[in-house]
Amino acid sequence: MLNKLRNFSKGKLAGVLVGIIIIPFVFWGMGSVFSGGNTNSIAKINNHNVSTQNFADFINNSKLSSEYINENIDNNILEQLLTQLVSTTLVDLEINELKLFISDEILAKKIKSQKSFQNENKVFSRTKYEKFLLENNLSSIQFEQDLKKNELKKELFKYISGGIKSPLFLTNKTFNEQQKKIEIDYLDLKSVYIDQNEISLKDLANHINENEEKFFIEKIDISLIKLTPNELTGENEFTENFFSKIDEIEDLVLSNTNIEEISKKFNLKIRTVKKYHPGEKNEQLLDEIYKERNTQIIELLDKTDYFLLYEISNLEKVLPSLDNKEFQKKVRNDFFENNKYKVHTDLMKKIQKREFTNEDFLKLSKDAIKSLKINSIDDTKKFTRDSVILLYSLGINNFSLVSDENNNVYLVKIKNVYNDNLDRNNKEIQKFAEQTNSMLRDNLYNSYDFLLNEKYDININENTLDRMKNYFK
């Protein structure tokens, strides 16, 4: 199914049939955004037409706003929605062909059994039901039709996977994969990294030369004038005269008149700050101006209590001196992080090429190697969940890099693996049996997906899809 959809839409359609059906495609938006107004076909499934109006209704029901669709049009949002509509249509066709049926009596029982529609005595409440419909702007007919469709989809998947039961050996396999105990040797790579205090000034200087663009700082000259009523008009109030002069200054700014000419015309005093860089002066206003160094050369801003006229000039890139303690600290940290990255990548390359040996492991830092037993795949006392899952996928004498919750990185060797058999009396057998059943069901669903791909001929009308895209642009 997925491959066929991709072929028909130049590789842009995304989504797996079963996943789309099982996991609802939910969006929050602003209601109706498009009305097709015609029955032109946008897709054809065998002899069944999916009209433009069908797709328009589907988009409207998704609750996506037109603004959201417009913003994501190049991210194939319409292709994704069309994929879901086609998938939903396929399921409906299958339900009709198999003549699956939900009676009104069963549907009524489903509604009455929902806890949200029951009172404190667990009895169906018509009042609660009507309130739910009102709050969600639904009619009872619409709600019951939607519920019926969902129940029929459930019946379809029961039909596909009905009677599935995991044999003991598969359940045992699932149990062993998750509950086995693994013994590891591990090394905190902090013992391998270079000591920051041992990084020489020569090393730092070489690092700067190799990474100049990273360490350049930009310095600017700033000329600024605070335009208060007193400065501009000699008055203490914001008068019409004051705003008239502000308008005049704004016109001069728009015509790219420099700040010096403006100051002379209005007899204003300019404050000049040379070679400014944030951190060298603790002044928020200058920091705000600095952020605009690559945009406007001269600007007039309304700061509520006053107007600010500023001009930026002489932007230059400089390398600070290593005599500057803060800069030296920055370079030292960067050198250290680069070293860490190199240690990690070099190790991973050797591990992936199977060139990393136990001798290599011991040579790194024999005295710092520790041992640990991990009791299950859920044992995350030392490492992150993803790290434990990774370790459980490895065999004896395999190596890997893992991390803890503080992002510390460790080199790990699988030393031993201990398996326990799961007997039928084990209280957790149901848990692992269900996991195995779920795996088997997924395999069946994948097979069913392949069957649909072979069974139905799906054609997408690219021209119609493009026209709908243009509507939202």
Residue range 309-323, pLDDT digits in tens? 999 988 888 888 898
With tokens 């649909």, the residue in question is: 452
pLDDT value at residue 422:
54
Which residues are within 8 A (CB) of 432 and not within 5 positions of it... i.e. 6 or more apart?
A: 171, 174, 175, 178, 422
Q: Is the pLDDT of residue 71 over 50?
A: yes
Instruction: For residues 390 and 377, give the distance between their C-alpha atoms in angstroms, rounded to a whole number.
Output: 9
- For residue 83, count CB atoms less than 10 angstroms from its CB and return exposed for 0-12, middle for 13-18, buried for 19 or more: buried
For the segment 392-409, the average pLDDT, to the nearest whole number, is: 93
* 202: amino acid identity, one letter: K
The token pair at 285 is: 């206003």
Nearest partner of 448 among 18, 100, 47, 151, judged by Cα: 18
| Residue matched to tokens 């060298």 | 280
Q: Determine what percent of the chain is predicted with pLDDT higher than 90.
A: 33
At 370 the pLDDT is 94
In degrees and rounded to multiples of 5, residue 187 shows phi and psi of -130, 120
- The 10s digit of each residue's pLDDT in 27-38 is 333 334 444 445
- C-alpha–C-alpha distance, residues 4 and 453, integer Å: 7
Q: Distance of CA 468 to CAs 35, 36, 56, 66, 461, Å?
A: 10, 9, 9, 12, 11
Average pLDDT over the chain, rounded to an integer = 81
DSSP β-ladder status, 458-460 and 41-45: antiparallel
**What is the tens place of the pLDDT at every residue in 103-153?**
888 888 888 888 888 888 888 888 888 888 888 888 888 888 888 888 887
Q: For domain 181-198+327-418, which architecture applies?
A: Roll (3.10)
Asked if pLDDT for residue 466 goes beyond 90, the answer is: no
359/303 Cα distance (integer angstroms): 67
Report helix angle 52-61 to 77-98, nearest 10: 110
Residue 269: phi, psi to the nearest 5?
-95, 130
Across the range 347-363, mean pLDDT stands at: 93
Confidence of residue 15 (pLDDT cuts 50, 70, 90): very low
For residue 197, what pLDDT is reported? 85
Separation between Cα atoms, residue 455 and residue 444, nearest integer Å: 16
Q: How confident is the model at residue 39 (pLDDT cuts 50, 70, 90)?
A: low
Nearest of 389, 335, 397, 393 to residue 360 by alpha carbon: 397
- pLDDT score recorded for residue 165: 61
pLDDT in tens, 314-354: 888 888 889 888 899 999 999 999 999 999 999 999 999 99
Give strand pairing partners of 223: 272, 311
Q: 70-84, 254-268, 449-463: which range is least confident on average?
A: 449-463
91: tokens are 């399921």
pLDDT attached to residue 94: 82
Selected residue with higher pLDDT from 52 and 473:
52
Q: Which residue in 294, 310, 290, 314 sits closest to 302, CA to CA?
A: 310
Residues 6+ apart with CB under 8 A from 238: 229
May I ask the CATH class of domain 1-178+427-473? Answer: mainly alpha
What's the pLDDT at 412? 96
Confidence (pLDDT) at 154: 77
371 forms bridges with which residues in the sheet?
A: 185
* Matching residue, tokens 């602003």: 30
